[in-house]
Amino acid sequence: AVKQAAVADRLLISKTDLADIDTSARLRARLEDLNPGAGLYEIVQGDIDPALLFDSGPFDPSGKSDKVQAWLNAEAHNHGHGHAHHDHHHDRSRHDAHIGSFCLTFEEPLDWDLFNRWLMAVRASWGDRLLRVKGVLNVTGESQPLVIHGVHRTFHPPTLLARWPEGDRRSRLVFITRDLARADVEESWKQMMEEA
């Protein structure tokens, strides 16, 4: 259940009429901490807008530049201070002892072939530990941002957005992982760059 809540796009809480106020508040706080980027909705006596259930396919970034920032999870990438090729992220979104999230931010445009080789290596090495990966990339030679997202070893085809969200052209890649150290992912990128 923790894994499902950690990677969900939206979280629905039902049976709140059967729980006391403190229990409901603790559950809501836990879910918000577990997945701050997900929409959180309370369902009272089965009353639910069907759109919450039926508009729940995989994220389709086409024409949704304004929603990409929320999709990437503002906590993960609006951290503020940069480094040579990525930002570090204080892991305030620790989900439990095994699940964590972090964001890599790349200041310069990425070479797609190099980046894709690295991402394939990450998926091959740690695919079972990648609960979710999502990102907006500034790719050399592209004027539009490229969106990627996947779960474990399965990734949707990359999609070009119509425009950059909020004009920020840095590449941002969010990882939600189980038992995968951020340092290992960063080291794999460093090794790929050294071999290039």
Average pLDDT for consecutive 10-residue bins of the chain (196 residues)? 73 82 85 76 79 60 51 43 41 62 93 97 96 94 94 93 84 93 95 91
CA distances to 99, 104, 110, 133, 169 from 193, rounded to whole Å, are 27, 15, 11, 20, 21
Q: How far is CA 142 from the centre of its chain?
A: 22
Confidence at residue 33, expressed as pLDDT on a 0 to 100 scale: 74
Greatest pairwise CA separation for the chain in angstroms: 59
User: For the CA atoms of 77, 82, 87, 91, what is the dihedral angle to 10 degrees?
Assistant: -70
pTM of the model: 0.65
Q: How would you label 120-152 residue by residue, b for 16+ Cβ within 10 Å and e otherwise?
A: eebbeebbebbbbbbbbbbbeeeeebbbbbbbe
SS3 168: coil
Domains observed in the chain:
2-54 (no CATH), 65-195 (3.30.1220.10)
Torsion 165-65-99-187 (CA) sign: negative
Per DSSP, which regions of 30-116 are E strands?
39-42, 99-106
The backbone torsions φ and ψ at residue 95, rounded to the nearest 5 degrees and listed phi first, read -85, -45
Q: The tokens 């964001």 sit on which residue?
A: 103
Confidence at residue 44, expressed as pLDDT on a 0 to 100 scale: 78
